[in-house]
Structure 1
Amino acid sequence: MTRRLFVGLALAFAIVLGLSPSASAAVIPGVPMAGRVDTATPGSTPSPTLPEEDPVRAAQYWLDDYGITEAWKTTRGKGVRIAIIDTGIGRGPAEFAGAVVGGTDVSGAGSEDGRTPVGAIDADHGSWVASLAAARGTGPQTGMIGVAPEAELLSISVGFGSSATVSFVDQIADAVVWAVDNGADIINMSLTTNVPDWDESWDKAFLYAHDKDVVVIVAAGNRASGTTRVGAPATIPGVLTVGGVDPSGRASVGASTQGITIGVSAPSEKLLGVSANGQLVQWDGTSGAAPIVAGIAALVRAAHPDLDVNNVINRIIETATPPASTSERNALLYGSGLVDAAAAVGASVPSVSVNPMGSLSEWIRLYRRADSGPAPVPTVTPFEVEMLPPADAAPAPVSLLLPTYASVLYGSLPLIVLTSTAILVALGVTAAVRRIRSSSLRRAADIQE
């Protein structure tokens, strides 16, 4: 696919994987705005009753169901940096205080620090994604908290379609390289192109991330958004592609998709997200499943800082659990199964030397045109070859009706000889027949006399 065609497809089909905010995000009734801590009225007497469980924390079912709270007994992700390549992380919410340590804009439409949300429709998407990965909460036991609440965040804002002045292809390549160069240990990409192919510039960017030991985690996409099968970058070898399941652990119908590149699955329905303005919403999509796994990867890297990218991904895959229904253990839907943060952090997993999600360098060797390399160096001294003698002059043209020496010698003369011989033989035979006949007549006359 040519670069121009790919850019056109990317601009036409590149969408944020969470459903459009009007369809998938809903403000949670009865829950105060995220980032705002309610206090008692001055002069009032605090109630002596025991504090009730914070409804925001209670709504985050994935923390207990997927072993995240158990993994926190070992680590909460301190010292690990997650780059969120998305529409930008809002500046205002208290949940991000102290979490975002840097950022940039590659779309041409945001601010230099990547903290100004980009896009008219999907502006809050980057904040939702970041809050699932590493939100700090609004207090020790209140407010939304991410899977790796002590990890650091990088905010890299990208734009889709008319919201960007830079092509989508260039944005992604630039964003990945910037994330690597600015200390990212993990990159989260909750986006897709809805096409399986990708531009060659992505080869270099994603290979650069792998060579620098950075884990890249990508959302698989949603059927409800038109992604019937995974598309790039979820098709790039070496990235960990995440599918989505509902709260019961079954493959989500609308908030996930299918494909052979899915590595693991995580919750993608009834998720919480902190918007750029601090409002808490409920939303669906593998855009949310991916940062849950990115947070788990941060827990693994914090607990096992000696592991390279291959073994971080392998731990998450090898400790995944099968879906509850044995009849639905379909790798196209679940990959290796449902993530288990506690097992990924604490289980004994043999080390590997290759990435279980494939090798991008090997794919490039097989499917991209190889460089021709330098010209071979001559091994002998060149020498001059003698000129060939001039070619014989062409014979003068002759009429095809006139006889030639060859035609007379090999055609006319043999024909004359054979014809003459045949005539002489015929004459001899005729004369002999006449003599025999004459002799027979004379004998017959003598007998009659």
Structure 2
Amino acid sequence: MTAGSRTLGAALGAALAAGLALGGGILAAPAAHADEWRDQQYWLEDYGITEAWETTRGEGMTIAVIDTGVDSSHPTLSGAVVGGTDVSGAGDGGAPVDQIATEHGTLVASLAAGRGTSAEATAVAELIDEDLEDLDDDEWKDWWEDFETSLEDIYGEDWQDEVDSDALAEFEESRSAPRALTQDEDPDDGVVGVAPEASILSVSLLLQDPNPYGGGTEEQIAEAVTWAVDNGADIINMSLGSGFQEWPESWDEAFLYAEENDVLVVAASGNRASGHLSVGAPATIPGVLAVAGVDESRQISEDSSSQGIAIGIAAASEPLVGAMPGEDYMQWNGTSGASPIVAGAAALVWAANPELSAQEVKHRVLSTADSQGAEGVDPEYGHGVLNVADAVSGEVPAFEAAAYPTLAEWIRVHRRGEVEETEQNEIPEDAGVVAGPEGEPRAMPQPGEPSTAQDWAGPVAVGAAALLVIAVLAMAAIHLQLARRQDEN
């Protein structure tokens, strides 16, 4: 690896770690019930996500989360993670890798495709996962007493405040568990992702250079993107970044592979509090959808958003909540959270409009954004703030491919190889040049007549020099005169 690559790799690793360590990056929140975490997800209503769910919840779409690994055993991610791998050598199958910010990938995945089920809801579902209709009256009475005792064990002494009383009465009367208790299809507690029926692929990295287990960050990211494309990702989320606008040439092939296979890459713009005032790679790569961060009032986040011409759209970056490895939830901030919100939105758009290409999905997301910032494409907000309902079902202007730069075109222009010098001893037969007799030198081109410019170039140069001398003398005279006045005073 070159010195530049080592610097880039270290910056990528440090960027993620620093982004999570900033004030409010991850907040150790007090214990709360799952429905209290759901209540904090203001973006579900504000961004038209719940309205979009009337059309689709992202079924059939696959989002690859290239990050620190995902805890697939978390209740809200149960059944969501359908595959994974580790490209660092430090992990196994995409599960969280032991490093700084181990929880990061799980937080990200929960905002993209969390199911919304809490540990409590899962425990209740397990209690009633049997054929209760076959119980006779005495068996049912005994079962019901045990069930109420278990509810108290799960929710505490105030369990009756946590369970819908009407649903509970319906359950007792019919012996058929209602949806409100099982949380099977429409969970109303726990953190829920934007696309709660999409699938997750977990690709774990070790953001550390040198990596004692395998390749450095540069190699890992290229391998991760390629693996995600090969294993069925429709969308790749990358909630990591560097302070560099440039990216290693080794990434060209991987990101071009995603582009050529119609996979949309969504990336966080970076966080100012991490020292990244400008958007860094991979968000700067042409074709990647770069996401900025805003607060609840839709103002650009002072700490949790970088800026630059690469910004495509803005989404919630503070305050956020997400799932932690185990059965916990946490409060956190950062464009690391804004990016999976947009990735989930893209999954909803694509599920509702399966005929679209990745670029056309991106077009719907950008062209329906709520206006914010300066007219046109703002360096902080991009095209504006995410509007998921309109992106899924709204009217959009006609798609024009020329309006969206591609990595293929960028590579054609900026990665031109050096032309190798070749020796040419003989004149090609098709050159149209007739050689003279052997040993006779080729006639050299004769100089043309001097242009008229040569006739006046000399006098003009002399005149310009004279004017310069006059100007210098004039300035000297003025300076001398001012000095004399000061002496007289």
Given the two structures, how large is their TM-score scaled by the length of structure 2? 0.70
Aligned-partner Cα distance in 2 for 1:357–1:193: 23
Q: Which amino acid aligns with 1:89?
A: V
Once the 2 structures are TM-superposed, how far is the Cα of residue 379 of structure 1 from its aligned partner?
5.2
Q: Which residue of 2 aligns with 1:215?
A: 264
Once the 2 structures are TM-superposed, how far is the Cα of residue 365 of structure 1 from its aligned partner?
1.3
Task: Give the 5 Å matches for 1:67-106.
Answer: 67-106=48-87
Q: Which residue of 2 aligns with 1:205?
A: 254
Assess, with a 3 A threshold, how the Cα gap between structure 1 residues 83 and 356 changes in structure 2: closer, same or farther.
farther
Assess, with a 3 A threshold, how the Cα gap between structure 1 residues 314 and 175 changes in structure 2: closer, same or farther.
same
Once the 2 structures are TM-superposed, how far is the Cα of residue 27 of structure 1 from its aligned partner?
3.4
Q: Higher helix share goes to which structure?
A: 2
Q: Which residue of 1 aligns with 2:113?
A: 134
Assess, with a 3 A threshold, how the Cα gap between structure 1 residues 378 and 102 changes in structure 2: closer, same or farther.
farther
Aligned-partner Cα distance in 2 for 1:233–1:357: 17
Q: Which residue of 1 aligns with 2:454?
A: none
Q: Which amino acid aligns with 1:128?
A: L
Assess, with a 3 A threshold, how the Cα gap between structure 1 residues 355 and 131 changes in structure 2: closer, same or farther.
farther
Q: Which amino acid aligns with 1:238?
A: G
Once structures 1 and 2 are overlaid, which stretch shifts more, 338-347 or 358-367?
A: 358-367
Assess, with a 3 A threshold, how the Cα gap between structure 1 residues 222 and 69 changes in structure 2: closer, same or farther.
same
SS at match of 2:339: helix
| 1:254 pairs with one of 287, 296, 303 | 303
Aligned-partner Cα distance in 1 for 2:403–2:321: 31
Once the 2 structures are TM-superposed, how far is the Cα of residue 385 of structure 1 from its aligned partner?
8.8
Q: Is the 8 Å Cα contact of residues 310 and 356 (structure 1) preserved in structure 2?
A: no
SS at match of 2:401: coil
Aligned-partner Cα distance in 2 for 1:241–1:356: 16
Assess, with a 3 A threshold, how the Cα gap between structure 1 residues 355 and 61 changes in structure 2: closer, same or farther.
farther
Once the 2 structures are TM-superposed, how far is the Cα of residue 348 of structure 1 from its aligned partner?
1.6
Q: Which amino acid aligns with 1:189?
A: M
Q: Which residue of 2 aligns with 1:28?
A: 29
| 2:356 pairs with one of 282, 307, 310 | 307
Aligned-partner Cα distance in 1 for 2:216–2:429: 48
Q: Which residue of 2 aligns with 1:108?
A: 89
Assess, with a 3 A threshold, how the Cα gap between structure 1 residues 296 and 379 changes in structure 2: closer, same or farther.
farther
User: Size of the alignment, in residue pairs?
Assistant: 364
Once the 2 structures are TM-superposed, how far is the Cα of residue 386 of structure 1 from its aligned partner?
6.9
Once the 2 structures are TM-superposed, how far is the Cα of residue 64 of structure 1 from its aligned partner?
0.3
SS at match of 1:16: helix
Do structure 1's residue 245 and structure 2's residue 287 form an aligned pair?
no
Q: Which residue of 1 aligns with 2:216?
A: 167
Q: Which residue of 2 aligns with 1:434?
A: none
Aligned-partner Cα distance in 2 for 1:83–1:286: 17
4+ residue stretches of structure 1 with deviation over 6 A? 326-330, 381-386
Q: Is the 8 Å Cα contact of residues 220 and 256 (structure 1) preserved in structure 2?
A: yes
Aligned-partner Cα distance in 1 for 2:196–2:22: 25
Once the 2 structures are TM-superposed, how far is the Cα of residue 278 of structure 1 from its aligned partner?
2.2
Once the 2 structures are TM-superposed, how far is the Cα of residue 88 of structure 1 from its aligned partner?
0.4
Deviations 1:225-269 (A, max 9, x none): 111101111111111000000111000000111111000000000
| 2:365 pairs with one of 305, 316, 322 | 316
SS at match of 2:379: helix
| 1:5 pairs with one of 3, 6, 9 | 3
Which is greater in Rg?
Answer: 1
Once the 2 structures are TM-superposed, how far is the Cα of residue 337 of structure 1 from its aligned partner?
0.3
Aligned-partner Cα distance in 2 for 1:278–1:383: 84
Unaligned ranges ≥5, structure 2: 118-182, 441-489
Do structure 1's residue 153 and structure 2's residue 134 form an aligned pair?
no
Q: Which residue of 2 aligns with 1:143?
A: 190
Q: Which amino acid aligns with 1:137?
A: G
SS at match of 1:273: strand
Assess, with a 3 A threshold, how the Cα gap between structure 1 residues 135 and 309 changes in structure 2: closer, same or farther.
same
Do structure 1's residue 291 and structure 2's residue 358 form an aligned pair?
no
Once the 2 structures are TM-superposed, how far is the Cα of residue 310 of structure 1 from its aligned partner?
1.2
Do structure 1's residue 19 and structure 2's residue 20 form an aligned pair?
yes
Assess, with a 3 A threshold, how the Cα gap between structure 1 residues 353 and 211 changes in structure 2: closer, same or farther.
farther
Identity level (%) = 49
SS at match of 2:315: strand
Tell me the C-alpha RMSD between the 2 structures. 2.7
Q: Which residue of 2 aligns with 1:190?
A: 239
Assess, with a 3 A threshold, how the Cα gap between structure 1 residues 328 and 347 changes in structure 2: closer, same or farther.
closer
Aligned-partner Cα distance in 1 for 2:232–2:21: 32
Deviations 1:360-398 (A, max 9, x none): 11111111124769x999655999997539xxxxxxxxx
Q: Which amino acid aligns with 1:288?
A: G
Aligned-partner Cα distance in 2 for 1:349–1:297: 15
Q: Is the 8 Å Cα contact of residues 147 and 296 (structure 1) preserved in structure 2?
A: yes
Q: Which amino acid aligns with 2:88?
A: S
Q: Which residue of 1 aligns with 2:104?
A: 125
Aligned-partner Cα distance in 2 for 1:317–1:259: 16
Aligned-partner Cα distance in 1 for 2:290–2:388: 16
Aligned-partner Cα distance in 1 for 2:99–2:236: 24
| 2:399 pairs with one of 347, 352, 371 | 352
Q: Which residue of 2 aligns with 1:180?
A: 229
Once the 2 structures are TM-superposed, how far is the Cα of residue 203 of structure 1 from its aligned partner?
1.0
Assess, with a 3 A threshold, how the Cα gap between structure 1 residues 161 and 288 changes in structure 2: closer, same or farther.
same
Deviations 1:252-306 (A, max 9, x none): 0001111110000000001011111221000000000000000000000000000
Q: Is the 8 Å Cα contact of residues 81 and 183 (structure 1) preserved in structure 2?
A: yes
Assess, with a 3 A threshold, how the Cα gap between structure 1 residues 210 and 329 changes in structure 2: closer, same or farther.
closer
Aligned-partner Cα distance in 1 for 2:56–2:419: 49
Aligned-partner Cα distance in 1 for 2:194–2:428: 61
Q: Is the 8 Å Cα contact of residues 256 and 285 (structure 1) preserved in structure 2?
A: yes
| 1:338 pairs with one of 363, 368, 385 | 385
Q: Which amino acid aligns with 1:172?
A: I
